[in-house]
């Protein structure tokens, strides 16, 4: 009898298109909720763990001229590295 019932309605065990759309919407909603949860968790971790950055001090621009003597290159190195 079950064989005849399956032959009469071959789509008996499957979901209807409306059920598929509803399940898909539920799963996509859960994906959005989990993404928001992960984003909030990472923001909390970033604020708790990351060190506070001090005031930004830009590096002084130096000319791109190549030093021609050893003395100029040593002076350039000392000035650049603040030695």
The DSSP H or E segment spanning 79 is: helix 70-80
Q: What is the structure's pLDDT at 77? A: 86
Residues whose CB falls within 8 Å of the CB of residue 73, separated by 6 or more in sequence, listed in order: 67
Cα gap 24→42, rounded to integer Å: 27
User: Domain residue spans in the chain?
Assistant: 2-80
Q: Quick one: average pLDDT of 58-78?
A: 80
Helix (H, G, I), strand (E, B) or coil at 61: coil
Over residues 7-57, the pLDDT tens digits come to: 666 666 788 889 999 999 999 999 999 999 999 999 998 888 877 666 767
């Amino acid at each position: 009898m079950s064989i005849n019932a399956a032959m009469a309605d071959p789509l008996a065990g499957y979901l209807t298109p409306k059920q598929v759309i509803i399940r898909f919407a539920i799963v996509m909603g859960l994906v959005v909720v989990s993404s928001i949860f992960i984003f909030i968790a990472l923001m909390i971790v970033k604020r708790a763990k990351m060190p506070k950055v001090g005031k930004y001090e830009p590096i002084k621009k130096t000319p791109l001229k190549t030093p021609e003597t050893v003395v100029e290159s040593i002076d350039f190195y000392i000035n650049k590295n603040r030695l």
